[in-house]
């Protein structure tokens, strides 16, 4: 007898006349545990594939700020503005690792020290920065730099807590200083964004220059 298609077949063999017959049963249903295992394997494969693709893109493009660009776009951020801030940060600012020992009995630990280049922004660049601050959801605030001996500024994304640009007042072009920039960082919306980032802005240059 021919085997019915689409059925699980139970074969009963009969030695009589060297023949056998089939009993058919209703279509099989996959076991729930098997489905779970297949879904788990599929998810793991997708995660692994995503990680490999991310690594490949990162190495192929050779962009150090690749991760920052992804993480800093949780708010409404213009990608061109973001790229400008990161590019200027690379031009004006850097960090270096060092060790610090608090006292003779204390153990040394690693710290990150801000460094600043001899480069400065031109008028077009600072105008682009201020426009990005006005149009985007960045937090713009003054800081003290060089261990408190120089006034500086930072621009960050409050959601990701990622600092995107750091520079000193001395790196500003002519006609731009603390007072000029206060017209932007003292705007109500910026004050609220800075506060959400944990920064309370004081509109007094001496506060940031020890």
Residues 6+ away with beta carbon under 8 Å from 52? none
Token pair of 114 as six digits: 């801000």
Domain that includes residue 154, residue range: 66-93+119-208
Q: Is residue 100 part of a domain?
A: no
**pLDDT in the model for residue 74:** 47
Q: Are residues 14 and 75 in the same domain?
A: no
pLDDT surpassing 90 at residue 118? yes
Total residues belonging to the chain: 210
Alpha helices (H) in the chain, listed in sequence order: 32-61, 66-71, 79-92, 123-135, 178-185, 188-196
**Does residue 2 form part of some domain?**
no
- Is 203:145 a contact under the CB 8 Å cutoff? no
Beta strands 150-157 and 8-14: pairing type? unpaired
Q: Is residue 129 part of a domain?
A: yes
Determine the pLDDT at residue 105.
67
Residue 23 confidence class, pLDDT cut points 50, 70, 90: very low
Are both 51 and 73 inside the same structural domain? no
How many Å apart are CA 41 and CA 72, to the nearest integer? 32
> Could you tell me if 38 and 53 lie in one domain?
yes
Same domain, 30 and 88: no
Same domain, 23 and 73: no
Domain co-membership, 199 together with 123? yes
- Residues 186, 130, single domain; the answer is yes
Do residue 21 and residue 55 come from a single domain?
A: yes
pLDDT digits over 27-78, tens only?
555 566 777 778 888 888 888 787 777 666 555 554 555 445 444 444 567 8
Q: Which two tokens stand for residue 73?
A: 């776009």
Domain count, the chain: 2
* Whether residue 49 is found in the same domain as residue 141: no
Say if residue 36 is in the same domain as residue 74.
no
DSSP state of 207: G
Average pLDDT for the chain = 78
Domain assignment of residue 83, yes or no: yes
Of the three residues 61, 76, 106, the one that is the final residue of a domain is: 61
In this structure, are 139 and 196 located in the same domain? yes
Domain assignment present for 172? yes
Same domain for 46 and 138, yes or no, is no
Residue 3 lies in a domain: no
Sole residue written with tokens 């006034």: 151
Is 106 part of any domain?
no
Predicted local confidence at residue 201, as pLDDT: 97
Please tell me the pTM assigned to this model: 0.62
Residue 167's Cβ-count burial label (10 Å; 0-12, 13-18, 19+) is buried
In a domain, 103, yes or no: no
pLDDT of 7 over the 70 cut? no
């Amino acid at each position: 007898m021919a085997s019915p298609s689409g059925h699980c077949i139970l074969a009963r063999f009969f030695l009589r006349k060297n023949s056998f017959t089939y009993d058919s049963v209703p279509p099989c249903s996959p076991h729930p545990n098997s489905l779970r295992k297949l879904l788990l394997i599929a998810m793991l494969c997708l995660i692994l594939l995503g990680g490999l693709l991310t690594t490949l893109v990162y190495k192929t493009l050779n962009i150090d700020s690749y991760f920052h660009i992804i993480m800093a776009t949780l708010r409404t951020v213009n990608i061109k503005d973001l790229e400008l801030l990161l590019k200027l940060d690379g031009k004006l600012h850097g960090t270096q690792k060092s060790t610090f020992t608090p006292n003779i009995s204390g153990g040394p630990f690693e710290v990150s020290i801000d460094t600043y280049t001899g480069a400065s922004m031109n008028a077009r660049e600072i105008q682009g920065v201020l426009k990005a601050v006005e149009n985007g959801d960045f937090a713009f605030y003054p800081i003290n730099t060089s261990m408190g001996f120089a006034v500086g500024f930072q621009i960050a994304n409050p959601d990701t807590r990622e600092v995107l640009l750091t520079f000193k007042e001395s790196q500003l072009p002519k006609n731009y200083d603390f007072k000029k920039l206060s017209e932007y960082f003292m705007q109500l919306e910026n004050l609220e964004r800075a506060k959400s980032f944990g920064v309370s802005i004081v509109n007094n240059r001496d506060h940031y220059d020890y």
